[in-house]
């Protein structure tokens, strides 16, 4: 498998007065093209800080974040913003959709951000939203809105999709539908998925699981095979 992201000796330090706190404490790992990687840990373990630093939303204190050999820590703010626009997609617990637009128009907004766009109608179909294509997002359930946000993020054809607690606001049945949509997008588009979660059941849908606690990686585990989201334990 081809290396896509290399994290080397990554540190993120905050200071409370004169006391340093390491939100990330010398973190090292590699992510390969086309993987689903689940970063698992309790609240305060450093997993969201790691996502923010890896994606350039936050600046690490030291270390290297290499995308195909380019260290984004060394990029200017302008070049880092362009890098995110061209290469990365984001899914958050909140959907951040434009409520005055319908489903198709929301996905179109995402497509306009990318150079190598995916076909909007095909994405909407992959997400199981074809019958809702002309509805305003206010008419949709929470799970349907999250699938619109996934389609919007995929529309610009990102190399990497960062998913921060994508099912955190959803019940089990709806959450599993959303996870299934992420898996199908990975399989159809070969989009590398990095999923942040505190739910150990979600770890089973990934190729590898990175377990974190207190800013450190405590284990990197490779699953023998992915489990279908509908079959995972919840919570």
* pLDDT tens sequence across 59-112: 999 999 999 999 999 999 999 999 999 999 999 888 889 989 999 999 999 888
Lowest-confidence pick of 89-103, 183-197, 201-215: 89-103
- At 23, list the tokens: 């939100």
Using CA atoms, how far apart are residues 114 and 8, in angstroms rounded to an integer? 28
Break the chain down into helix, strand, coil percent, rounded to 5: 35, 30, 35
What is the reported pLDDT for 51? Answer: 95
35, 204 Cβ separation under 8 angstroms: no
Residues contacting residue 164 through CB under 8 Å, at least 6 positions apart: 48, 51, 90, 91, 92, 93, 196
What is the pTM (predicted TM-score) of this model? 0.93
pLDDT at 210: 98
Residue ranges of the domains in the chain?
Answer: 3-67+75-231
- Beta-sheet strand order (sheet of 208-213): 88-91, 160-164, 192-197, 36-40, 208-213, 216-222
pLDDT reported for residue 19:
87
Mean pLDDT throughout 34-59? 95
* pLDDT score at 160: 96
Asked if residue 27 has pLDDT above 90, the reply is yes
pLDDT band at 18 (very low <50, low <70, confident <90, very high): confident
d(CA 220, CA 207): 11
Going through the chain in order, the beta strands assigned E by DSSP cover: 3-16, 19-32, 36-40, 62-67, 70-71, 88-91, 160-164, 192-197, 208-213, 216-222
- Pairing state of beta strands 62-67 and 3-16? antiparallel
Give the pLDDT mean for 34-48: 95
Parallel/antiparallel/unpaired status of strands 192-197 and 36-40: parallel
CATH of domain 3-67+75-231: 3.40.50.300
What pLDDT is stored for residue 118 in this prediction? 79
Query: Which token pair is 27?
Result: 């973190």
The pLDDT of residue 23 is 95
Tens-place pLDDT, residues 108-161: 998 888 777 778 999 999 899 999 999 999 999 999 999 999 999 999 999 999
Q: 213: which strand partners?
A: 216
What is the pLDDT, as a whole number, of residue 48? 93
Q: Give 100-131 as a 3 state SS string.
A: CCEHHHHHHHHHCCCCCCCCHHHHHHHCCCHH
Q: What is the pLDDT of residues 212-229, one digit of tens each?
A: 999 999 999 999 999 999
Q: What pLDDT is attached to residue 112?
A: 85
State the Cα–Cα distance between residues 100 and 173, nearest whole angstrom. 28
């Amino acid at each position: 498998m081809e290396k896509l992201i290399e994290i080397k000796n990554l540190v993120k330090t905050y200071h409370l007065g004169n006391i340093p706190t390491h939100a990330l404490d010398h973190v090292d790992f590699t992510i390969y093209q086309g993987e689903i990687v689940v970063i698992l840990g309790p609240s305060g373990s450093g997993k969201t800080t790691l996502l923010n630093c890896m994606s350039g939303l936050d600046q690490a204190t030291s270390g290297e974040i290499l995308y195909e050999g380019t260290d984004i820590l060394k990029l200017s703010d302008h070049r880092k913003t362009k890098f995110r626009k061209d290469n990365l997609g984001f899914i958050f617990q909140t959907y951040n959709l434009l409520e005055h637009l319908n489903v198709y128009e929301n996905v179109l907004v995402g497509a306009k951000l990318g150079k190598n766009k995916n076909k909007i109608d095909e994405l909407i179909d992959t997400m199981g939203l074809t019958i809702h294509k002309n509805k305003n997002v206010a008419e949709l359930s929470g799970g349907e809105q999250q699938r619109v946000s996934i389609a919007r993020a995929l529309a610009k054809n990102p190399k990497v999709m960062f998913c921060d607690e994508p099912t955190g606001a959803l019940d089990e049945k709806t959450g599993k539908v959303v996870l299934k949509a992420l898996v199908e997008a990975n399989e159809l588009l070969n989009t590398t998925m990095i999923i942040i979660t505190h739910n150990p059941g979600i770890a089973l849908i990934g190729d590898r699981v990175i377990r974190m606690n207190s800013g450190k990686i405590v284990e990197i585990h490779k699953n023998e095979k992915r489990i279908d989201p509908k079959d995972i334990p919840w919570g």
